[in-house]
Amino acid sequence: MKTPYVLVFKPKELVYDNPVEKLPEWCRFPMSFAERCHYYRLQGLEIVSQYIHCAPFYIDMFDIKANRPMAVPFEIPRRQLFLYFMLGGTLSITSGNTCPVTQVHANTFAMLYYGSGRYTVHAGKGHHTVLFVNMAPEWLENISTDFPGLQFILEKFRHSSRPYHMMHTCRIDRKVRRWLYKVYSYSNNNIGVLDGNLRKYLSYILGHYNSVLGPQYHKLAHRVKMYLDDHYRSDLLNAGFLALQFQVTERTLRNHFKREYGITPHEYYSKLRVTDAIAQMEHNDLSAKDVYLSVGYNDERSFRYALSRYLKNK
C-alpha cells in the first residue's frame, strides 16, 4: 500500500519539514509503534503526523495546531477507503476550495471514501487531532460477510459515481474509546503481534459500527438520503416524486428528513447538484451553460439561481 495522501505546500511556505524523534508537548496521543513522526511548521501552523504502513492498513495520527484559521491542500492519488476518529477539535474538508465534502466534529467516527484528486482541509484556531485508518478494500470485504452495513459501504465505494462520500457518523462511546486506545497505544515492536492487534481491535470497532448502521437503513430519512445520493442528477426530482417513491405524504417525508439532517430534501439534493457542478466547472474549465443539464436542471436560469443561493449562504 502506497502513501494514501500527500500534503501540498507552496514554495517557501514551509519553515520546517523533517522527521523528529520527540513529539511536541501539545501532542496528547503518542503512537509508539509509528514508523515515523514527521513535523511540519508554517507561519501560524504546526502539523505532526505519526504514521505506519502495516498492510492492510496505513495509520496516521494527525495533529494540527493553528494560531488562526488555516487551509492545507492535499492530494489523493487513487480511490480509497478511510475510517476516521476525530479525537479533538473540528475539521472541514472541501474538494478544491469550495465544494464541501466532510465536516468532522470531536468525539465522532465514520467511514468515508475519496476519489483521486486535490482536496483541502480547513482548521479553525486551536488544536485538532484525527486518527486516519486507510484500509485495503479486500480486507474489509473479508471481514464483512455478516456485516450488511459494511457491505453497503463497499458497494458505494466500488460502484457509486460520486467521487467522495461519508457514511453515517457515530459517537465515540466508552466501548469504542477503549478499543481505539488498544489500537494507538500498542507498544510491542513485534510486527506479527502488532498486525494481529490492529486487525483484532479495528474489527471490533467495525462490527460495532455495523450494528449502529443497521437501524439507520430502516429510517425513512436515511433511505431518502441514500436515494438522493445516487439520483440527485435526475431531472424528475421534486417533493411529489419523492413522496410517491417512498409511499408517504410530502409533509411526512419533509418532517422526517429535516428532523434527522436539519435541512429539507430539496435543500439537500440542491446542494449535491450545485457542488457537483462547481467541481465540474473548476476541474474542467467549464461554464454554467456546459454543466446545468448534467446535474438535473432543465434550464440554465434555475441552475444559476441555485448556484447564487448556495454561494450566498456558504
Average pLDDT of every residue of the chain: 90
If asked whether residues 62 and 146 sit together in one domain, one would say: yes
If asked whether residues 231 and 101 sit together in one domain, one would say: no
If asked whether residues 235 and 181 sit together in one domain, one would say: no
Domain, as residue range, for 134:
6-215
pLDDT band at 293 (very low <50, low <70, confident <90, very high): very high
Residue 110 reports pLDDT greater than 60: yes
Which of 161, 188, 215 is where one domain is finished?
215
**Would you state the pLDDT for residue 52?**
95
Which of 167, 195, 215 is where one domain is finished?
215
If asked whether residues 305 and 170 sit together in one domain, one would say: no
If asked whether residues 198 and 257 sit together in one domain, one would say: no
CATH of the domain at 110: 2.60.120.10
**Percent share of the chain, pLDDT over 70:** 96
**Would you state the pLDDT for residue 226?**
83
If asked whether residues 280 and 159 sit together in one domain, one would say: no
| 174, part of any domain | yes
| 86, part of any domain | yes
Alpha-carbon distance 117 to 95, whole Å?
Answer: 8
CATH of the domain at 300: 1.10.10.60
| 104, part of any domain | yes
Which of 215, 248, 279 is where one domain is finished?
215
Q: Which one of 45-54, 99-108, 137-146 scores highest in mean pLDDT?
A: 45-54
| 190, part of any domain | yes
Residue 273 reports pLDDT greater than 80: yes
If asked whether residues 189 and 86 sit together in one domain, one would say: yes
If asked whether residues 199 and 249 sit together in one domain, one would say: no
pLDDT (mean) for 34-54: 95
If asked whether residues 63 and 93 sit together in one domain, one would say: yes
Residue 10 reports pLDDT greater than 90: no
Place of cell 464483512: 144
If asked whether residues 225 and 80 sit together in one domain, one would say: no
Alpha-carbon distance 24 to 64, whole Å?
Answer: 11
Q: Which residues 6+ apart lie within 8 Å of 185 measured at CB?
A: 31, 32
Residue 218 reports pLDDT greater than 70: no
DSSP 294-306: GGT-SSHHHHHHH
Is the model more confident about 66 or about 262? 66
| 1, part of any domain | no
Q: How many domains does the chain have?
A: 2
Residue 280 reports pLDDT greater than 90: no
| 242, part of any domain | yes
**Would you state the pLDDT for residue 99?**
65
If asked whether residues 282 and 199 sit together in one domain, one would say: no
Place of cell 456546459: 290
If asked whether residues 137 and 246 sit together in one domain, one would say: no
Alpha-carbon distance 260 to 258, whole Å?
Answer: 5
* Strand stretches in 202-248, DSSP E: none
| 22, part of any domain | yes
